[in-house]
Amino acid sequence: MIRYVVKRLVILIPTLLVVAIIMFTLMDFVPGDPAVIALGSGNHTQEEIELKRESMGLNKPYITRLGEYIGNLVFHFDFGTSIVDGTQIKTAISDRFPNTLKIAIGSILVTIIVGLPLGIRTAVRANTWEDKIALFVTLLLDCMPSFWVGLLLVLLFALKLGWFPSSGVGGLKYFVLPVIANSLGGGLAGFTRQTRASMLEVIRSDLVTMARSKGLSEREVIYGHALPNALIPIITIVGMRFGQMLGGATIIEVIFSIPGLGPYLVNGIGSQDYTVVTGGIIFIAFAFAIIMLLTDLVYAFVDPRIKAQYVARNRKGGRKDE
């Protein structure tokens, strides 16, 4: 198992290198002269621009620049500086990422705490009025964009009732509304429906009938046998959703004026700050890859068949059957 983790981490290195190379190359194709962008607005003489290009190293060949960038990345974990305001990208990310992480963790927790029991209940009571109401409500939620939900929440809980602050960061209460908006408008409805579908499939299988025939109570049957066997697709959804949210819940972060990764990247794109965009994307790719690895490890705990596969792969070095 540990060998499997180490192996996955080693594979992560070439993956991220490829991401870095692709991002760097793509940004090189983006129209517009970075030197002009770096100089800011106003008229500049050709000489000024040339000097700037020279100082930014833009006159060196593509391969040299790529090599320098990758070198800095690998040996110093350095993403360079923003070409617009000259700040360290590494510092900006480490300042902003905790905010994004808090929202992501909060949203995923709310999604699981609300969505899982709701999904289980609707599956157990499939096709009753309870199920139909839940279906209707989740459908309704699914149709509401998160920025709209966010604005509604602000109107009610921040402006009218004054329970929570409407924007900014600070203590825990600053994160309540963004987290709720992010989970309601984001994955909660889909997650509930996925849980329901996955549970229904298991509930209709023989293993649940067998569990019943053993004389287990309905509760034990559902939570002891059905749920654990329905978890794989549920975990997949949680992992994907969490990975996505680590890239920043941009709209939510903008509405609530939270300095997270989302607005940083969007601003970077808007101002053609190519170093910020490249650095940000590489970081997100890294975070996503780590989450996917964690997801795969959780699979092993849930399903002994998957665990056996990991172990077998370690022992025999790459057996791919089953």
Partner 1 sequence: MSELMEVKHLKKYFKSPRGTVHAVDDVCFSIEKGTTVGLVGESGCGKSTLGRTLIHLSESTDGQILYQGRDVTRLNKKELIEFRKHAQIIFQDPYSSLDPRQTVQDIISEPLLLAKYGKDEVQRRARELMDTVGIEKRLRMSYPHELDGGRRQRVGIARALALNPEFIVCDEPVSSLDVSIQAQILNLLMDLQEELGLTYLFITHDMSVVRHISKKICVMYLGQMVEQCEKKELFEHPLHPYTKALLSAIPTTDIHAEKRRIMLKGEITSPINPKPGCRFAARCPYAKESCNEPATLREVAPGHLVACARAEEVNCMA
Chain residues in the site for partner 1 (CB under 8 A): 205-207, 209-217, 225, 228-229, 302-305, 308, 322
Q: How far apart are CA 199 and CA 202, in angstroms?
A: 5
Closest distance between partner 1 and the C-beta of residue 211, in Å? 7
CB closer to partner 1, 95 vs 303: 303
Let me know: does 79 contact 73? Beta carbons within 8 Å: yes
In Å, how far are 12, 15, 181, 195, 309 from 245, measured between CA atoms?
A: 20, 20, 13, 20, 30
Residue 109 CB neighbours (<10 A): 12
CB closer to partner 1, 83 vs 208: 208
CB closer to partner 1, 85 vs 218: 218
Which residue in 22, 91, 19, 108 sits closest to 286, CA to CA? 19
CB closer to partner 1, 173 vs 214: 214
In Å, how far are 78, 87, 117, 245, 318 from 70, measured between CA atoms?
A: 9, 19, 46, 26, 30
CB closer to partner 1, 57 vs 224: 224
CB closer to partner 1, 87 vs 127: 127
Handedness of CA 158, 162, 164, 169 (dihedral sign): positive
Residue 90 CB neighbours (<10 A): 16
User: 247 — phi, psi (to 5°)?
Assistant: -75, 0
What angle separates helix 89-124 from helix 129-143, to the nearest 10 degrees? 160
Q: How far apart are CA 6 and CA 299, in angstroms?
A: 17
Closest distance between partner 1 and the C-beta of residue 312, in Å? 11
